[in-house]
């Protein structure tokens, strides 16, 4: 593969100040750069072409962004220039700064640490795909729990050719399986001295977040493995961040504990407004980097941001401008904090109601609940019937939709249940089980 001189310059910057981080880039990642030419000329014209700017591929009319009234009437008070034009491949500068400030506020352990400016993605799924392009080579090893979001395999396994090493998510006592996690890292390191480690909390599908002590132990395990010579890309999928409902759960991202942990450990935070701010369809996510860098950190982070933005430029060009504008302006609104707390309280009450209901002994012979304390989901383990058979039976006979996971597990999205629907749901599940048992 021929490396563009711009990519070579970025590579030299990263390798000089963070050689272990550079060595973890995929071959594609090493070749990526943010193009000059059209992009640079357009940016220069935007700044200096005060008379006529004939560079950008949009249409204008009487000095304003051309638009249909049928469209602008729907957008409302957001002007076309902030909704219908192209956003930067990096994302809106104001939104990037705003989200970084929010990260530090929500993760106090980040105070005094240096991280990159977030790059905007088209939702977190696109963020994970971008990380796959920039960091994952065919044959790389991904360490992830046995219970995981299936799209990780599609993005990193099917598309990027990575190999997965799994470990049981839960320990025998019901907490996070620290021993299994550590053994999986050691097994992966025997295959490849570069590991991509998925850290997804609150966890999809179980709704479990590690405790403060479990989180500290996980960080220690990862740092110790890096100290043994393994290069680790810790991908913190924080899609459901903030939805922590119980006191003992870790309220910060593991990113905050890992971003300055070891020179061979690169932390990446994948998050967004999607679930945190209940704007699923706006597709606004972020990629933020944190690593140990010798000397000035800004040039290295800028180089990584350029490679990431170059990857976005080469796939979707840029995330939705109107989506970014809505997220940014809503975060400036005086109602934002109160409304976020209001919705959090609703979700917390739903989770508490589910926990109360599933503890009823009448369900004990038919299913049990896996531990959960956060996020959108919880899972139950069936004891007598097949999960997919029960899923189809409940859907066809009762109009109840659930997700089956393997032979024994069902995922319940309590995020979309009203409190008064919880008992009805689990009673219907129990009824369906009894019907299948007697069939």
- Judged against a pLDDT cut of 80, whether residue 137 lies above it is answered with yes
Q: Is 299 exposed, middle or buried (0-12, 13-18, 19+ CB in 10 A)?
A: middle
Task: Tell me if 321 sits within 8 A of 309, measured CB to CB.
Answer: no
Selected residue with higher pLDDT from 327 and 39: 327
Residue 311's contacts (CB-CB under 8 Å, 6 or more residues apart) are 28, 29, 32, 130, 133, 134
Residue 122 and residue 293: Cα distance in Å, rounded? 28
User: Which run of H or of E encompasses 409?
Assistant: strand 409-413
Please write the tens of the pLDDT for every residue from 199-236. Answer: 999 999 999 999 999 999 999 999 999 999 999 999 99
- DSSP code, position 50: S
User: Which run of H or of E encompasses 285?
Assistant: strand 285-290
CATH fold for domain 337-438: 3.90.1150
Q: 52 — phi, psi (to 5°)? A: -140, 130
pLDDT of residue 49: 62
Average pLDDT, the chain: 95
**5-34+89-332 and 337-438: identical CATH topology:** no
Task: Tell me if 305 sits within 8 A of 119, measured CB to CB.
Answer: yes
- Judged against a pLDDT cut of 70, whether residue 70 lies above it is answered with yes
Task: Tell me if 228 sits within 8 A of 189, measured CB to CB.
Answer: yes
User: Can you give the residue ranges of every domain in the chain?
Assistant: 5-34+89-332, 337-438
Residue 137 and residue 112: Cα distance in Å, rounded? 33
Residue 406 and residue 387: Cα distance in Å, rounded? 7
Please write the tens of the pLDDT for every residue from 239-270. Answer: 999 999 999 999 999 999 999 999 999 999 99
What's the whole-number mean pLDDT along residues 285-304? 96
CATH-assigned architecture of domain 5-34+89-332: 3-Layer(aba) Sandwich (3.40)
User: Which run of H or of E encompasses 325?
Assistant: helix 321-332
Please identify which residue in the block is written with the tokens 């220069």. Answer: 44
- Judged against a pLDDT cut of 80, whether residue 380 lies above it is answered with yes
- Judged against a pLDDT cut of 70, whether residue 42 lies above it is answered with no
Please write the tens of the pLDDT for every residue from 152-196. Answer: 999 999 999 999 999 999 999 899 999 999 999 999 999 999 999
Task: Tell me if 429 sits within 8 A of 394, measured CB to CB.
Answer: yes
- 306, 312, 302, 332: which is closest to 114 by C-alpha? 302
Task: Tell me if 40 sits within 8 A of 313, measured CB to CB.
Answer: no
Residue 5 and residue 10: Cα distance in Å, rounded? 9
pLDDT of residue 314: 95
- 284, 228, 294: which is closest to 260 by C-alpha? 294
Residue 230 and residue 250: Cα distance in Å, rounded? 26
pLDDT of residue 61: 85
pLDDT of residue 35: 87
DSSP SS3 for 48: helix
Residue 233 and residue 193: Cα distance in Å, rounded? 11
Task: Tell me if 277 sits within 8 A of 53, measured CB to CB.
Answer: no
DSSP annotation string for 133-182: HHH--TT-EEEEESS--THHIIIIIITT--EEEEE-SB-TTSSB-HHHHH
The structure's pTM equals 0.94
- Judged against a pLDDT cut of 70, whether residue 39 lies above it is answered with no
pLDDT of residue 332: 97
pLDDT of residue 56: 73
What's the whole-number mean pLDDT along residues 282-302? 96
């Amino acid at each position: 593969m021929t490396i563009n001189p711009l990519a070579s310059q970025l590579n030299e910057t990263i390798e000089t100040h963070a050689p272990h981080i550079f060595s973890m880039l995929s071959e594609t990642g090493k070749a990526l750069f943010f193009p000059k030419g059209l992009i640079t000329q357009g940016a220069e014209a935007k700044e200096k072409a005060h008379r006529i700017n004939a560079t950008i591929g949009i249409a204008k009319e009487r000095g304003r962004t051309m638009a249909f009234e049928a469209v602008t009437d729907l957008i409302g008070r957001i002007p076309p220039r902030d909704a219908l034009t192209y956003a930067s491949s990096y994302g809106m500068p104001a939104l990037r700064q705003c989200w970084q400030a929010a990260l530090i506020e929500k993760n106090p352990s980040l105070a005094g640490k240096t991280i990159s400016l977030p790059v905007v993605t088209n939702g977190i799924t696109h963020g994970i795909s971008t990380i796959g392009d920039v960091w994952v080579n065919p044959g790389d090893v991904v360490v992830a729990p046995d219970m995981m979001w299936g799209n990780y395999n599609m993005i990193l396994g099917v598309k990027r050719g990575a190999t997965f090493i799994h470990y049981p998510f839960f320990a025998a006592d019901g907490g996070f399986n620290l021993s299994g996690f550590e053994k999986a890292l050691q097994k992966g390191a025997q295959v490849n001295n570069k590991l991509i480690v998925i850290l997804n909390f609150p966890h999809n599908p179980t709704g479990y977040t590690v405790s403060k002590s479990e989180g500290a132990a996980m960080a220690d395990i990862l740092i110790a493995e890096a100290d043994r010579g393994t290069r680790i890309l810790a991908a913190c999928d924080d899609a459901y961040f903030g939805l922590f409902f119980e006191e003992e759960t870790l309220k910060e991202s593991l990113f905050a504990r890992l971003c300055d942990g070891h020179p061979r450990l690169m932390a990446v935070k994948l998050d967004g407004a999607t679930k945190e701010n209940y704007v699923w369809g706006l597709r606004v996510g972020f990629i933020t980097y944190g690593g140990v860098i010798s000397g000035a950190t800004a040039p290295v982070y800028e180089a990584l941001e350029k490679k990431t933005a170059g990857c976005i430029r080469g796939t979707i060009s840029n995330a939705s401008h109107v989506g970014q504008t809505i997220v940014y302006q809503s975060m400036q609104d005086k109602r934002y904090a109160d409304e976020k707390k209001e919705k959090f309280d609703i979700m917390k009450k739903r989770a508490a109601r589910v926990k109360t209901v599933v503890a009823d002994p009448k369900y004990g012979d038919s299913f049990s609940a896996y531990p959960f304390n956060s996020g959108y989901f919880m899972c139950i383990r069936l004891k007598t019937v097949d999960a997919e058979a029960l899923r189809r039976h409940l859907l066809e006979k009762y109009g109840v939709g659930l997700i089956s996971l393997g032979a024994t597990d069902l995922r319940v999205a309590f995020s979309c249940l009203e409190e008064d629907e919880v008992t009805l749901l689990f009673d219907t599940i129990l009824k369906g089980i009894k019907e299948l048992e007697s069939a």
